Amino acid sequence: MEQIITLALTLLEQVAPQLAGANATLVTRIIEGLVALIPLLLKEYQSVIPFIQNVIALLRNNNQVTPDQLAQLDVLELQIDAAFDAAATAAQAEDK
């Protein structure tokens, strides 16, 4: 399953730069997909997080992204950061 997710995110990374002329609806659908996937990916597939971060960065650089969509991307990044911080805290606790 992880290989399929990695493949899908890699493909999304490759097409994201082409979205410069995409309409807001397509960008919204991509963001909605990430919103749906991130909780599962953070829990089960940590290795794909860099791919998600790349997709988020590419979407941020798209001049068609609306302020609302940028706010959604901010929330996604906060979720990723919180999960990373929680994992780091748990690892430090285990080391003690």
Overall pTM surpassing 0.85 (yes/no): no
With CA atoms as reference, report the closest residue to 35 among 52, 48, 17: 52
The residue with tokens 């290795």 is 47
Q: In 10 A of CB 38, how many CB atoms?
A: 19
pLDDT at 68: 92
What pLDDT digit, counting tens, does each position of 6-52 carry? Answer: 888 898 888 877 776 667 788 888 889 999 988 888 888 888 989 89
The CA-CA-CA angle for residues 23, 48, 18, to 5°, reads 25
Residues 6+ apart with CB under 8 A from 63: 20
